Amino acid sequence: MSLEELYQEVILDHYKNPRGKSAVACPHAACSLFNPLCGDQVDVSLSLGADLCEQCSEKDHCPLRVADVGFIGHGCSISQAAASMMSDLCRGKSIEEVRELCDLFRQFMRGEKGAEEVTALGDAVALEGVRKFSARVKCAMLAWEAMEKCLDQIGSSDTITIAGSGKAVVGGTAA
């Protein structure tokens, strides 16, 4: 089996068995995006949580994390598989880590980084072949752009209360 065939199988697996394909019940941020060129649509939502880090036992010291991320939508296998990969990859990561992953994925889709440089993207590396088709890059980017907009909402919010943690986000930082 060639690498290209393996990548096609990974994409089809995420399309047929999507991870995180549901709306988050009580999201801290949500974004809907539509690609008018092909009709792809994705609604991304996320909730935040404050997990204890390995170095301490104080929640106030630990970074806020994406506790849950989900998507609903319809479209081509590329857009829906990319949304599945994004939601699977971002769950449990800190806000800063998710921003870095979004930036890394964008660089990857633009051809600025090769597959060997983006191993942090996990299964999303399987979308490498999409870069050859500029019209399909937008399909792959749709969910990731929605995630960036969700993060922007969090960063610009005055206060977001994290249920059960006693922690609030003020302008994107824990308070």
3.30.70.20, 3.40.50.1100, 2.40.160.20, 3.90.1010.10: CATH of 3-174: 3.90.1010.10
pLDDT by position in tens, the chain (length 175): 776 787 788 999 999 999 999 999 999 999 999 999 899 999 999 999 876 555 555 555 567 889 999 999 999 999 999 999 999 999 999 999 999 999 999 999 999 999 999 999 999 999 999 999 988 999 999 999 999 999 999 885 544 555 555 444 444 444 4
Q: What is the DSSP string of 69-137?
A: EEEEEE--HHHHHHHHHHHHHHTT-BHHHHHHHHHHHHHHHTTSS-GGG-GGGGGGGGGGGGGG-HHHH
Phi, psi of 115 (to 5 degrees): -60, -35
pTM to 2 decimal places = 0.84
31, 71 contact by CB (below 8 A): no
In the chain, domain spans: 3-174
